[in-house]
Chains A and B, each alone.
Chain A
Amino acid sequence: MDKKSKSINKILLHSFLILGSVIMIFPFVWMLLTSFKSVTESTSMNPFVFFPSEWRFENYVEVIRQNNFFVLYYNTLAMMFFRVLFAIMFSAMAAFAFARLKFPGRDFCFGLVLFQMMVPPQIFIIPQYLMIDAMNMRNTIFALVFPGLVSAFGTFLLRQFFMGLPKELEEAAIIDGANYGQIFLRVMLPLVKSGMIALGIFTALFSFKDLMWPIIVNPNENAAVLSSALARMQGAYSVHYPQLMAGAVLAIWPMLLVYLLFQRNFIEGISTSGGKL
């Protein structure tokens, strides 16, 4: 390939990615801009207002005054932390067994895992609420984590990663006298790192976005999370969009932090074969 066509390729590639980025980033930019608008500007379509006429930081001031963000961050991060921990730990164990071990009932049990994913999650809300209520655990961190103690999604995801590993790995380890626990911990786990990171990102994301569950199970202000606190700000008849968006901007950073932290590990493991399509 000569230099010229290479740079043309590069331009094409970047224009494609930039176009895609613009489409993807649009709602986010919208959110940021709306958070500085006045109420009128926020719902005005005619004339269409893209940039706020002035930067109204008072929307942020008001949101911070109305909500105890310290508590919200704490609860949200605690929920995300425990859900990610449990999802990765339990899913990795189960996924390893489903992918690499032979034992009676394996296919049936894996069928149940898939089965769980097929059911719309809305049906679990009331039964799980009744369980938490019976345990007298409403308005606790435990209640927030409860539905995420195990993850069918994670089990299936990591199983795919374990299945992609070569068979020779554990055969060699068995000859060396390792047991399955050691094979799992020392040989297999390090090889599915990117799968576990992806699972961590998604678990954090899903719990970050989970709305219905925290609203129902933790109605108390001191036990609320960011998503449920934001939902509270939406009035029944009119929504103060600028404040809502200011709240949403303030709510996002824990999630972005998780993503940025995790995705660095993504790149580390990257194959250096790049540079060619």
Chain B
Amino acid sequence: MNKTFLKFGVVIFVSLFFIVACGNENDEGGEETGEYAVNGEVTLDFAIWDSNQEPGLRQIADAFEEENDGIRINITVNGWADYWTMLEAGATGESLPDVFWMHSNEIHRYASNDMLMVLNDQVDASDQIDMANYPEGLVEIYTLDDHYYTIPKDYDTIGLWYNKTMFDEAGVDYPDESWTWDDLYDAAVALTKDDGEQYGILTPLHSQEGYYNFVYQNGGTIITDDKVSGYDDPNTIEALEFYINFVREGLSPQIFGDAERATVLENGLAAMGFFGSWNLAGFSENEYMAEHFDVAVLPASNDGGRASIFNGLGNAIAYNTDHPEEAWRWVEYLGSEEGQRMQAELGIAISAYEGTADAWVDSNDLFDIEVFIDMVEYGQIRPYSNTTGVWEDRAYEELNGAFTGDKTVEEAANDAARVMNESLERED
């Protein structure tokens, strides 16, 4: 018996040893990226969630590495959902990447739990970063109790994308800044075909790239300053009625899934749709979109009320990074005029630094993307609180009945207000 026992033991021990040894070997390779290697080189982990931006950011990183001997940038990309799970695990285990993107939905949770480095001292000492050079609204999103938690990276607004070919066919003038809700409605009617092959417009159940814009154009709100739901505000309800009416009258298809929305435009099912500036890369790559589409500013409400939902990202540093100085140098570079101009020229995103956005406009000649910058003037910060993701979803669940016709818009809006307030109360 003992002999066999021994054999088992040896086999198990050897395999465990082998795997740990194998693991360690790889570990040493990996460790270079976190610690000082022999030659004093530092590698910073930089986490982002958009693979479309990676090639451009890599170029910026290369330029930075050239200027800063001994610092290497290691870019890690994960999809949106995976990205936040990864950060959550990193924050819980105190092993966050050195530098990473922040979003308005999450900033409060990360900042109020001291997961992000406060950058005030660095900003004060820097000759390249001055918060006055970025859009005020963007700085505001990422500032809590006068502490700066990120350096602004880019911003985005929502535009009205329209199918030129369909407009020509129907003999409707292209949308421009003179358009009001009435023009939008008339155009949608004129562009809708009776056989169901072509809808005039796409009004999906979507907040940022959908009804939020109309709510704020109409003087309504989604969340008040004292964190109460605005869904039951009469102006909000009026805007929702206008928006959802497109679906009820058969001028827009009923679309609920996030992934399906772009498909509708890309396959010529609808003549108009609302999409954010970040879709530029995807739309430019699509031959159908490139050939037939252009983009205009959002229409004003009939009283002339204007709004386009405005949001943006910032680069944050982990509170406990091993390389605070190097991480700041990288974030500073990304936020500096030089870095921001490069980002714009490469067409990565609308750079936040004042005056650099024009370079972004020049980076693309397929669409009239200047409209996205024109709309910043009346940009409305995407409504948020500590738990934006929670109440947005709850409101969605209540609102879909209005699109299918199971509820009136007013009922749905009041239900949405109720569940949203319940959720906000739990927020404390």
Binding site for B on A (CB under 8 A): 38-40, 43-46, 78, 82, 85-86, 89, 93, 125-126, 129-130, 133, 137-143, 145, 179-182, 185, 211-212, 215-216, 219-223, 231-238, 240
Which single member of A44, A129, A141, A180 contacts B26 (CB below 8 Å)? Answer: A141
The reply to whether B23 and A142 contact each other, CB–CB distance below 8 Å, is yes
Q: A219-B76, A222-B29, A231-B78 are in contact. Are A82 and B1 (CB under 8 A)?
A: no
Q: Which residues of B contact A216 (CB under 8 A)?
A: 85-86, 89
Indicate whether A43 sits within 8 Å of B286 (C-beta atoms), given known contacts A215-B86, A222-B30: yes
Determine if B20 and A142 form an interchain contact, defined as CB atoms under 8 angstroms apart: yes
In Å, the complex CA distance between A85 and B18 comes to: 12
Q: Which of B28-43 contact A (CB under 8 A)?
A: 29-31, 33
Given A46-B269, A232-B51, A238-B282, answer yes or no on A40-B4 (Cβ-Cβ < 8 Å): no
Given contacts A142-B23, A223-B26, contact A130 B80 (CB under 8 A): no
Contact A142 B22 (CB under 8 A): yes
State whether the Cβ of B378 lies closer than 8 Å to any Cβ in chain A: no
B106 to chain A, nearest CB (A): 14
| A142-B27, A238-B262 known, 6 other contacts, Cβ within 8 Å | A85-B15, A137-B23, A142-B22, A219-B78, A220-B74, A240-B51
Q: Is the CB of B278 within 8 A of A125?
A: no
- Mind listing 25 A-B residue pairs with CB under 8 Å? A40-B266, A43-B262, A43-B266, A78-B22, A85-B15, A89-B12, A137-B23, A142-B20, A142-B22, A142-B23, A142-B27, A145-B23, A181-B1, A211-B82, A216-B86, A220-B76, A222-B30, A222-B33, A223-B30, A232-B79, A233-B51, A235-B50, A236-B51, A238-B52, A240-B51
Q: Is the interface of B mostly helix, strand, loop or mixed?
A: helix
Q: Which of A126, A140, A182 contacts B89 (CB 8 A)?
A: A126
Binds A, one of B92-100, B140-148, B216-224, B355-363: B92-100
| Residues of chain A contacted by B15 (CB below 8 angstroms) | 82, 85-86, 89
Residue in contact with A44 in the complex, picked from B30, B267, B279, CB distance below 8 Å: B267
B96-130 toward A: CB 8 Å interface, digit per residue (1/0)?
01000000000000000000000000000000000
**Cβ contacts B273-287/A at 8 Å (1 or 0 each):** 000001101110111
Nearest opposing residue in chain A for B86, CB measure:
A216
Please measure, in the bound complex, the distance between the C-alpha atom of A233 and the C-alpha atom of B51, giving whole angstroms.
6
- Known contacts A46-B267, A129-B93, A130-B93, A236 near B80 by CB under 8 Å: yes
- In the complex, A39 Cα to B97 Cα: how many Å? 32
Q: Is the CB of B85 within 8 A of A212?
A: yes
> When the two chains form their complex, are residues B82 and A215 in contact, meaning their CB atoms are under 8 A apart?
yes
With A86-B15, A236-B50, A237-B52 known to touch, is A219 a contact of B27 (CB < 8 Å)? no
Is the Cβ of B287 less than 8 Å from the Cβ of A237?
no
Shortest C-beta distance, A137 to chain B (Å), equals 6
Q: Are A140 and B82 touching (Cβ within 8 A)?
A: no
Given known A-B contacts A85-B15, A141-B23, A38 and B287 have beta carbons under 8 A apart: yes
Residues of B within 8 A of A39 (CB): 285-287
Residue ranges of B at the interface with A (Cβ–Cβ < 8 Å)? 1, 4-5, 7-8, 11-12, 15, 19-20, 22-24, 26-27, 29-31, 33, 45, 47, 49-52, 74, 76-80, 82, 85-86, 88-89, 92-95, 97, 262-263, 266-269, 278-279, 281-283, 285-288
- Chain B residues contacting A233 (CB-CB under 8 Å) are 51
Chain A residue contacts of B74, Cβ below 8 A? 220-221
- The answer to whether A138 touches B269 (Cβ under 8 A) is no
CB pair A215–B78 under 8 Å, yes or no, is yes
Report the separation of the CA atoms of residues A188 and B287 in the bound assembly, to the nearest whole angstrom.
62
Neighbouring B residues of A182 by C-beta, 8 Å: 4
How many angstroms between the C-alpha atoms of A142 and B79 in the bound complex? 25
Total residue contacts A-B, CB cutoff 8 A? 149
| Nearest 6 pairs of A and B residues by beta carbon | A238-B282, A142-B23, A181-B4, A139-B30, A140-B23, A46-B267
User: Hey, which chain A residues are within 8 Å of B4, CB to CB?
Assistant: 179, 181-182, 185
Shortest A241–chain B CB gap in Å is 11
Task: State whether A133 touches B95 (Cβ < 8 A).
Answer: yes
Query: Which residues does chain B contribute within 8 Å of A212, judged by CB atoms?
Result: 82, 85
Q: How far is the CB of B296 from chain A (nearest CB, A)?
A: 20
A219→B75 CA distance, assembly (Å) = 10
Report whether B278 and A237 are in contact in the complex, using a CB–CB cutoff of 8 Å. yes
Given contacts A140-B30, A179-B1, A220-B30, contact A234 B93 (CB under 8 A): no
Contact in complex: A138, B267 (CB < 8 Å)? no
**Complex contact A219–B97 (CB within 8 A):** yes
A78 proximity list for chain B (CB < 8 A): 22
Q: How far is the CB of B142 from chain A (nearest CB, A)?
A: 19
Measured in the bound complex, the distance between the Cα atoms of B86 and A238 in whole Å is: 21
Cα of A249 to Cα of B8 in the assembled complex, Å: 39
Given the complex, which residues of A lie within 8 Å of B268, measured CB to CB? 46
Report the Cα distance A238→B269, complex, angstroms. Answer: 19
Residue ID in chain B nearest A218 by CB atoms: B30
Partner of B24, one of A133, A140, A222: A140
Q: A216-B86, A232-B51 are in contact. Are A237 and B279 (CB under 8 A)?
A: yes
Q: CA separation between A182 and B45, bound complex, in Å?
A: 52
Contacts of A211 in B (CB 8 A): 82
Residues of A within 8 A of B23 (CB): 137, 140-143, 145
**Given A130-B93, A138-B30, are A238 and B77 neighbors across the interface (CB < 8 Å)?**
no
Expressed in whole angstroms, the Cα–Cα distance for A215 and B5 within the complex equals 38
Q: Are A130 and B29 in contact (CB under 8 A)?
A: no
Give A181 to B79 CA distance when docked, in angstroms: 49
Chain A residues with CB under 8 A of B278: 237
B79 x A234 contact (CB < 8 A): yes
Question: Known contacts A179-B1, A181-B1, A222-B30: does B22 contact A44 (CB below 8 Å)?
Answer: no
CA distance A232 to B8 in the complex (A): 41
- A6 to chain B minimum Cβ distance, whole angstroms, is 50
A240 to B82, CA, bound (A): 18
By a CB distance below 8 angstroms, the chain A residues around B45 are 219-220
Given contact pairs A89-B12, A235-B50, A240 touches B285 in the complex (Cβ within 8 A): yes
Q: Which residues of A contact B8 (CB under 8 A)?
A: 93, 181
CA distance A129 to B78 in the complex (A): 17
